[in-house]
Amino acid sequence: MVSVKARPYDYTLEPGKTALVVIDMQRDFIERGGFGDALGNDVSRLEAIIPATARLIGLFRERGWPIVHTREAHKPDLSDCPPSKIRRGSASVRIGEEGPMGRLLVTGEPGNQIVPELAAQDGEIVIDKPGKGMFWATGLHERLQGLGLTHLVFAGVTTEVCVQTSMREANDRGYECLLIDEATESYFPEFKASTIEMIVAQGGIVGWVAALDDLAGALQSAEAAA
């Protein structure tokens, strides 16, 4: 067990039972010309977390620990996208329509790929999820259970939408969830800050939040002491 300084109190990480989950670091949300940009968001805020997220991925890869990458993605015929979700875009930019990086939020399109700096490596799990949360219609819970995983460390975008939804879904399924502050971001800084406060409130009602340095330092110290 590794004790990590975190809010609202230290997080106990269990090597062998912990996976990293990187939510939706796809070009559609991060790069200019993608879905997020087309909706009028400042995507540079999200781009700025790529180095910290790469470092976090590196911590897990060095140890051979499991890594899950998700993409918000729909089938090309949009049969897995409720009409209500399609209607929610702006009139000019809707899921499935052609954008500068291909059809928005459609599997296999250039904009739907994870940014090259964070691309999955062989052996890592990649999940296409039609919802904001990572468990809806993905079979992920069964896969994580099959690997004996009980603890999930979260990164990705956006903090208050797909990351928070996924973390809440995981919390309800019994996972011990830790979000890494520098490896998540929102188009709206106040929403990131509020989400973190919501997660750690009431004794960690959704989970824990830690700084990347505190996770890295705790892993190193535990390994040095072993």
What residues are annotated to the active site?
24, 129, 162
Helices (H) and strands (E) in the chain, counts: 9, 10
Structure tokens at 187: 């188009």
* Whole-number Å distance between alpha carbons of 135 and 131: 8
**C-beta of 7 vs 45, nearer to ligand TIU:** 45
CB 69 to ligand TIU: min, Å: 12
Question: Torsion angle, CA of 27/33/38/43, rounded to 10 degrees?
Answer: 60
CB 156 to ligand TIU: min, Å: 7
**C-beta of 37 vs 219, nearer to ligand TIU:** 37
By CB under 6 A, name the binding residues for ligand TIU. Answer: 24, 29, 72, 132, 157-158, 161-162
**C-beta of 13 vs 70, nearer to ligand TIU:** 70
**C-beta of 152 vs 157, nearer to ligand TIU:** 157
* 62: alpha, beta or left? (left if phi > 0; alpha if psi -120 to 50): alpha
Residues belonging to the chain: 226
CB 28 to ligand TIU: min, Å: 9
* Whole-number Å distance between alpha carbons of 29 and 35: 6
**C-beta of 29 vs 175, nearer to ligand TIU:** 29
Q: Could you tell me which residues come within 8 angstroms of residue 177 by beta carbon, excluding any fewer than 6 positions away?
A: 151, 152, 153, 154, 167, 170, 171, 206, 207, 208
CB 167 within 8 A of CB 202: no
Q: What SS3 class is residue 126?
A: strand
CB 16 to ligand TIU: min, Å: 29
CB 24 to ligand TIU: min, Å: 4
CB 33 within 8 A of CB 99: yes
